[in-house]
Chains A and B, each alone.
Chain A
């Protein structure tokens, strides 16, 4: 293979102004500001410290729901924020994971720790099968097609009452490990936290790898990525499957935690909520996904006092954030912080 060396181009080497070159070390501040180390560290510290503030079961419930939603949103952000594809049907995959755990444990007596990966495998397979035809579409057409997927899953779950309990939902046995039932807020808090940290870690790893660059590349310039050797169809399918599997795992966790599942989990509204969390927290930001999930899970709880005005206030806040922070919460704020830092 041809080896092209920059002989005779040394004059450009002097022009290094605003870059960090390979040889130079990052300052400790840069390391702390980096997404991987700084962000992961901050997330773990917050997760570890949060129980100090959680006073009762209700607050644990909210924290756990945030974690479960965040797992879905971190996955969905890979699809929407990084790869630039849309899905309005991911609540369907979330619900399928939840029902897989519910049905396999309640009706077939499988262990929950086995039901979850089986559900994830099934959802991954289904996502793979539908992704090939669907991801040829883009924009509004892709939105419509994925919406259709979600709606169909919702209908099937509601209709097949013999298996799913129909619209009334079904009971899910608690998770059991070595004869001990995992029950209650504190235990589930740590289970969900572990899965969330894992999801964030995997997401950060993917983004900063050849696979992640292929995904971001096809988002930024699909034809150029294709010409550079990226099998764009394959990568779109891959990220769709990854995000569906993450939603499925979150669904399984939700099922065992609440010990009850309803078709509501697959509702169109639930899908929209996930997408909103991605956009609100900030597209193409893994921590934005977590923050988006946290804020939009928490806000309705905080606004509950306003009773009938709750939805209106929530809507106004969302509109205001999107108008004043069009890139979403986290990218806007970190961008501000970085510019502050640069000015000093």
Chain B
């Protein structure tokens, strides 16, 4: 059964048709990549799926429940999580505090208990911290746990986005260009992280321009162009699709 299903999805901004009548499915436990040239609508699609945008038409189903139009924090509760292409790091917090915000839904948020700092709050925070340190280790940030986020270099912030997104223990993780701006070695590390995450049973949707990364790791690829589906299939099928070669791969 598919975990996520998109039907006839469209959104326009003024005159721009960012996503047009898009249909696709993502099955559970796979790594699903979405590729396409700049402006193809990949980030817009993520924004639609995570509830930041409301579609002009169409539907999005998570486990057969219609989720289009739901608010992002409700979708987080349903198991959605994501990273941002343009970093959205809380620069006023430390690295691990950023990750702990990602843990929000798993913690006791009762105001009175927090105000009085009841033992259960400190105990849960300690356990959460431990868990978040593990996640930071996983993405290679074990050396920057209590560093101010604002003091970290770009590459570290990209990883921090991933650690924060993982902290909510999502079922569906959307990664928007996690390797953009990283060198070959760092890209390889991100590659390993994605593989580890997928092996743990998380369904991953990856938007990425690095074709080596995409072709190597994906079970399934969706190619977007001008907001429409250009092609879809296994990496090999997509690689050899003449339309894709002409419209996208040919340019690079």
- Residues of A that sit less than 8 Å from B by CB: 1-9, 12-13, 15-22, 202, 205-206, 208-214, 216-217, 219-221, 223-232, 238, 284
Please name all residues of chain A whose beta carbon is closer than 8 Å to the beta carbon of B65 when the two chains form the complex. none
Docked-complex contact A210 and B133, CB < 8 angstroms: no
Contact of B168 among A5, A211, A213, A229 (CB under 8 A): A229
Interface size class of B (residues with CB under 8 A): 35 or more
- Give 17 CB contacts A-B under 8 Å: A4-B166, A9-B137, A9-B138, A18-B147, A205-B116, A209-B121, A209-B125, A214-B109, A217-B101, A220-B92, A223-B52, A223-B72, A224-B89, A224-B101, A227-B76, A228-B104, A231-B71
Docked pose: A143 CA to B140 CA in angstroms = 42
Report B107-158 residues with CB < 8 Å from chain A CB.
Answer: 107-109, 111, 114-117, 121, 125-126, 129-130, 133-135, 137-138, 140-147, 149
- Residues on B facing A (Cβ under 8 Å): 50, 52, 71-73, 76-77, 80-82, 84, 88-93, 97-98, 100-105, 107-109, 111, 114-117, 121, 125-126, 129-130, 133-135, 137-138, 140-147, 149, 164-169, 171, 192, 196-197, 200-202
Contact B73 A229 (CB under 8 A): yes
For residue A13, which residues in chain B have a CB less than 8 angstroms away from its CB?
137, 142
Bound form: Cα–Cα A229–B80 in Å: 9
Which of A3, A17, A20 sits near B200, CB closer than 8 Å? A3
Contact of A17 among B92, B102, B125, B143 (CB under 8 A): B143
In the assembled complex, the Cα of A29 lies from the Cα of B142 at a distance in Å of 24
Closest Cβ–Cβ distance, residue A74 to chain B (whole Å): 13
Chain A CB within 10 Å — which of B71, B72, B201 has the most?
B72
Given contacts A19-B145, A19-B146, A205-B117, contact A227 B92 (CB under 8 A): no
Whole-angstrom CA separation of A16 from B147 in the bound complex = 11
Q: Check if B200 sits within 8 Å of A216, measured CB to CB.
A: no
Total cross-chain contacts (CB, 8 A): 167
Chain B residues positioned under 8 Å from A7 (CB to CB): 196
* Inter-subunit contact B138/A4 (CB<8 Å): yes
**CA A269 – CA B50 in complex, angstroms?**
43
- A229 with B105: in contact, given A21-B133, A220-B91, A284-B92 (CB under 8 Å)? yes
- Chain A residues within 8 Å of B133, by CB: 21-22
Known: A2-B202, A7-B196. A216 touches B90 (CB 8 A): yes
Contact (Cβ within 8 A) A210 B104: yes
Inter-chain contact A211/B144, CB cutoff 8 Å: no
Q: State whether B90 touches A217 (Cβ < 8 A).
A: yes
Contacts of A238 in B (CB 8 A): 111
CA distance A211 to B113 in the complex (A): 10
Residues of B within 8 A of A206 (CB): 111, 114-115
Q: How far is the CB of A77 from chain B (nearest CB, A)?
A: 13
Q: How far is the CB of A61 from chain B (nearest CB, A)?
A: 31
- B168/A228 in contact, CB under 8 A: yes
